């Protein structure tokens, strides 16, 4: 089907009036140039006609004009399509999005391949300028070609896009690389794309059979078809099993079961769910544990398109392996319905249709796995292995959990928790033994009796009620990134600001900006300018330093709540939990929660009655008992995975023939600041006193250099002498702390070089209370030594105690 507007001069079809008007104007100008030869005219026509060529079916373009009018009527402003932190009186998962507000996937898919329509409408003149004959290169012709593309046009092009994809560079950074290369290379024709956007489009056109998608119409509503864009789930499983590392773990577990027996195999997987699932199948078969992930807020790294994606991974492999990108497969995208107007969008009928469509889509996608009650065979290393596929967990933020469990999304509903039947007013004022858990049996009874509303349950049949070995209300597990990093910790900081005065908030921001640098730790040099924009990683960086930031700003309770948070959070990161670990973890949760309520309850409009707080206190430990460590269900690596990104990652991976492993390297100095002979050291140090570029540590180091060097060689000569006898020092479990003043290489005749660090030692500030906030509290002492660099165990983060003199914390919260 053709698009709407046909050019009068070149028979080109345009997708919008704006693009059409500018294109016609341009074509008219070309015609008036009186280009001399027919061949030139044909070249220009071909060039211009290639502008709007894309690799999708032409059917996908038929609704672009309709999409533009719908956008104007229905799309929320940009601020509503991003994470929003509202006051908890209207708490709705805090980072949720309403699925009915997003676009249909047909149009989204068109735009996810670099938003051509937007480019035409907003920057058509620049686009046309790029396609003028005088600026065309060989790569321009390749990129706009409709010929099937299987490889990059050249190695330089491939290397550039590998670099951009591997390091997830944005367009601006990539374009700077192109500009730098073109400026300094002596080439008449650049081997690189015009810009990174063009390179990404080129990669999107590359033919990779395993990433091809099918379409299935799942609904017709308001005379509009809605499609699932998907890959068959069995194909996705085969792709995962073709990964040699994943395959290795499957074989290992299968062999363990064969040789060690059923009991040890179940224990190895530890969670109760595994034990029940293993007991439900024959001993000669294996469990294929499937983990689903869904997110309506996943965005394309190239643009702002919002997609509702579904991913799959395996529970059969270790957590560390599962959390790698290649251990996940994108199944496809579910349709997101459009209402014809505001009245329909807020109607119960439309809300029900949205829920029904989602579960109907799940049924279409997952049913092929369960159509055979006798399991499914997969060929691995020329051997047929009998699997029973079982859905173990579903990962997502709170709104997604409600979508799967079909409980009310609103946190103001009477029973807002998808785990249990605790009323809203009792969310934090209940007892563990009073909680009634939701399950398929009791929820189906409410549904069949037409009383679903009385327990905040949608009047829609849940697809998962028919799936064996699954309790959908428990299997929608809390995601730590959204649950803790972006939510509860965010509230803790906001509430902290709420109980501090203006001057204390200013001091808090000054302290945040003054935190010493440390490898991998982001420093907020201007304080917390806009906490609503912080990423999960940035929230975690704050966790590592806020204990020291709030020290002395208010009461001891304020510092202690941050200490308790960190202790709880570090425990949540354990890979394996014994029962004693779970008891310790629950105790840590309760201690943090009690302090949190005492400090901040008056600042909470809902008096702390929000579901994520409740579920963390009352359900997370049981969830771990059932489904293993919380590290096993984190969304972090899913967040960056979307169709275009996965596609490009797969293209880049094909270019890598072997993996490079890190090997130990010799000690190499990055630069040499000074060089002098030992016999002339005194003269050199005297001369350097006038050097304005010396740091305070350098000055101190030069003053102690010769004295400490003599001592170092004396100590190394007296081999029987114990270093600990040099001076009395209270250690932290055998670890001593020092500040490095200088790093030097000492070269003596007929000896190997000495790689030494001149250090000034710390000691504990008080022998009576050596630890504050579970961190060593130190002071600098006037003791200096050279030590061999190899003796340094690790670099630590030393944080000066604010508003005090000569007091330093060793940051024990670097995780």
Mean per-residue pLDDT for 161-190? 86
Task: Evaluate if residue 431 carries a pLDDT over 70.
Answer: yes
Whether pLDDT at 105 is above 90: no
Is the pLDDT at 262 greater than 90, yes or no?
no
pLDDT at position 301 over 90? no
Residue 357 pLDDT > 80, yes or no? Answer: yes
- Tell which residue, 323, 193, 164, 318, has the closest CA to residue 249: 318
480-501 pLDDT, tens digit per residue, is 888 999 999 999 999 999 999 8
Rounded distance between C-alpha atoms, residue 85 and residue 38, angstroms: 61
Give the CA-trace dihedral at 526, 531, 536, 539, to 10 degrees. Answer: 60
Contacts of 207 (CB under 8 A, 6+ apart): 148, 149, 150
Q: Is 118 left (phi over 0), alpha (psi -120 to 50) or beta?
A: alpha
What is the chain's percent helix, strand, coil content, to nearest 5? Answer: 50, 15, 35
Q: Which residues contact 119 (CB under 8 A, 6 or more apart)?
A: 127
Alpha-carbon dihedral of residues 274, 276, 278, 281, nearest 10 degrees?
-150
Identify the bridge partners of residue 383 per DSSP, sorted by sequence position: 380
Distance between first and last Cα of the chain? 56
255/152: higher pLDDT: 152
Give the closest residue to 281 by CA, choosing from 469, 536, 91: 469
What Cα–Cα distance (Å) separates residue 708 from each residue in 701, 705, 713?
Answer: 9, 5, 9
Alpha carbon of 577 to those of 61, 106, 323, 583, 624: distances in Å?
A: 53, 45, 18, 10, 8
How many other CB atoms are there within 10 angstroms of residue 29's CB atom?
11
Q: How many helices (H) and strands (E) does the chain have?
A: 32, 16
Q: So what's the pLDDT on residue 654?
A: 53
Q: How confident is the model at residue 325 (pLDDT cuts 50, 70, 90)?
A: confident
Spatial separation of the C-alpha atoms in residues 629 and 374, rounded to whole Å = 30
Q: What angle do CA 352, 361, 487 make, to 5 degrees?
A: 70
The angle, 0 to 180 degrees and rounded to 10, between the axes of the packed helices 556-572 and 579-600 is 150
pLDDT in tens, 506-536: 999 999 999 999 989 998 988 887 787 899 9
- 587: Cβ contacts below 8 Å, ≥ 6 apart: none
* C-alpha count within 13 angstroms, C-beta hemisphere, residue 362: 23
- Confidence bin at 621 (pLDDT 50/70/90): very high
Q: What is the pLDDT of residues 685-736, one digit of tens each?
A: 788 888 888 888 888 877 887 777 666 554 432 222 244 444 455 678 878 8
pLDDT of res. 641? 55
Instruction: Check whether 54 has a pLDDT greater than 70.
Output: no
Please, which pLDDT band fits residue 322 given cuts at 50, 70 and 90? confident
CA angle, 572 as apex, 566 and 574 as ends, to 5°?
115
Name the residue with higher pLDDT: 53 or 690. 690
Q: Give percent of the chain above pLDDT 70.
A: 68
Average the pLDDT over 44-49 and give the result: 29
The predicted structure's pLDDT at residue 437: 97
Average pLDDT, the chain: 75
- SS3 category, 294: strand
pLDDT at 668 over 90: no
Task: List CB contacts of 462: < 8 A, sequence separation 6 or more.
Answer: 359, 405, 406, 440, 443, 447, 472
Rounded CA-CA distance 742/236 in Å is 55
Alpha helices (H) along 544-641: 546-549, 556-572, 579-600, 611-618, 620-627, 636-639
**Alpha-carbon gap, residue 280 to 291, rounded angstroms:** 19
**Secondary element (H or E) of residue 228:** strand 224-230
- pLDDT higher than 80, residue 123: no
Could you report the per-residue pLDDT of 193-224, keeping only the tens digit for each?
Answer: 999 989 888 887 775 544 567 889 999 999 99
Query: Is the predicted pLDDT of residue 126 greater than 50, yes or no?
Result: no
**6: which DSSP letter?**
E
pLDDT at position 640 over 90: no
Q: Does the structure show a pLDDT above 60 at 265?
A: no
């Amino acid at each position: 089907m053709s698009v709407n507007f046909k050019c009068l001069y070149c028979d080109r079809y345009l997708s919008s009036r704006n693009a059409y008007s500018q294109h016609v104007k341009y074509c008219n100008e070309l015609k008036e140039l009186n280009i001399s030869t027919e061949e030139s005219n044909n070249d220009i026509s071909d060039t211009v006609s290639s502008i709007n060529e894309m690799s999708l079916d032409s059917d996908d373009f038929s609704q672009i004009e309709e999409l533009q009018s719908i956008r104007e009527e229905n799309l929320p402003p940009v601020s509503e399509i991003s994470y929003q932190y509202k006051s908890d009186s209207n708490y709705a998962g805090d980072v949720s999005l309403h699925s009915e507000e997003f676009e249909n996937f047909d149009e989204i898919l068109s735009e996810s391949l670099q938003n051509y329509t937007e480019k035409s409408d907003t920057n058509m003149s620049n686009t046309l300028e790029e396609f003028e004959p005088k600026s065309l290169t060989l790569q321009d012709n390749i990129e706009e070609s409709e010929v099937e593309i299987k490889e990059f046009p050249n190695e330089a092009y491939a290397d550039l896009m590998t670099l951009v994809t591997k390091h997830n560079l944005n367009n601006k950074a990539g374009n700077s690389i192109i500009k730098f290369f073109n400026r300094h290379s002596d080439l008449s024709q650049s081997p690189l794309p015009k810009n990174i956007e063009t390179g990404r489009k080129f990669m999107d056109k590359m033919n990779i059979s395993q990433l091809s998608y099918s379409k299935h119409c799942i609904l017709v509503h308001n005379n509009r078809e809605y499609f699932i864009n998907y890959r068959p789930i069995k194909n996705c499983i085969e792709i995962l099993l073709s990964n040699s590392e994943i395959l290795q773990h499957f074989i290992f577990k299968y062999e363990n079961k064969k040789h060690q027996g059923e009991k040890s195999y179940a224990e190895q997987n530890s969670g109760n769910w595994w034990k029940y699932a293993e007991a439900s199948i024959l001993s000669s078969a294996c469990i294929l544990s499937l983990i689903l992930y869904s997110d309506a807020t996943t965005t394309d790294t190239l643009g702002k398109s919002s997609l509702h994606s579904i991913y799959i991974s395996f529970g059969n492999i270790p957590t560390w392996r599962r959390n790698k990108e290649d251990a996940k497969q994108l199944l496809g995208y579910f349709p997101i319905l459009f209402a014809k107007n505001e009245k329909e969008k807020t109607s119960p009928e439309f809300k029900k249709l949205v829920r029904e469509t989602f579960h109907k889509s799940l049924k279409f996608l997952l049913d092929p796995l369960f159509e055979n009650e006798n399991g499914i065979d997969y060929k691995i290393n020329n051997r047929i292995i009998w699997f029973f596929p079982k859905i173990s967990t579903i990962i997502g933020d709170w709104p997604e959990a409600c979508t799967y469990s079909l409980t009310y999304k609103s946190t103001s509903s009477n029973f807002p928790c998808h785990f249990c039947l605790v009323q809203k007013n009792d969310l934090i004022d209940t007892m563990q033994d009073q909680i009634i858990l939701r399950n398929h049996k009791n929820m189906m009874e409410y549904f069949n009796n037409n009383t679903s509303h009385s327990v905040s349950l949608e009047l829609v049949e849940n697809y998962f009620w028919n799936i064996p070995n699954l309790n959908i209300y428990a299997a929608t597990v809390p995601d730590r990134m959204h649950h803790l990093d972006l939510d509860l910790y965010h509230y803790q900081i906001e509430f902290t600001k709420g109980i501090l005065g203006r001057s204390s908030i200013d001091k808090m921001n000054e302290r945040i900006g003054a935190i010493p640098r440390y490898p991998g730790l982001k420093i907020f040099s201007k304080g917390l300018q806009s906490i609503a924009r912080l990423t999960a990683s940035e929230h975690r960086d704050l966790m590592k330093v806020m204990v020291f930031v709030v020290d002395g700003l208010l009461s001891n309770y304020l510092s202690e709540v941050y200490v308790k948070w960190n202790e709880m959070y570090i425990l949540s990161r354990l890979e394996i939990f014994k029962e004693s670990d779970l008891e310790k973890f629950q105790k840590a949760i309760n201690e943090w929660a009690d302090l949190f309520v005492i400090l901040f309850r008056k600042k909470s409009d809902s008096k702390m009655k929000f579901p994520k707080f409740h579920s963390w206190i009352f359900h997370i430990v049981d969830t771990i008992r059932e489904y293993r460590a919380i590290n096993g269900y984190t969304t972090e690596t899913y967040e960056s995975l979307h169709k275009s990104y996965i596609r490009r990652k797969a293209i880049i991976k094909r270019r890598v023939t072997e993996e490079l492993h890190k090997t130990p390297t010799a000690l190499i100095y990055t630069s040499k600041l000074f060089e002098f002979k030992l016999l002339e050291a005194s003269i050199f140090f005297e001369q350097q006193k006038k050097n304005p570029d010396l740091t305070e540590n350098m000055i101190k180091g030069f003053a102690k250099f010769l004295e400490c060097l003599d001592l170092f060689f004396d100590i190394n000569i007296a081999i029987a002498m114990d270093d600990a006898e040099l001076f009395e020092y209270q250690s932290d479990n055998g670890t001593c702390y020092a500040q490095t003043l200088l790093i030097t290489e000492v070269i003596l005749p007929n000896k190997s070089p000495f790689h030494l660090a001149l250090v000034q030692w710390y000691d504990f500030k008080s022998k009576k209370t050596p630890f504050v906030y579970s961190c060593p509290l130190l002071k600098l002492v006037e003791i200096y030594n050279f030590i061999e660099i190899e003796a340094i165990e690790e670099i630590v983060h030393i944080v000066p105690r604010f508003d005090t003199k000569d007091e330093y914390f060793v940051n024990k919260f670097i995780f």
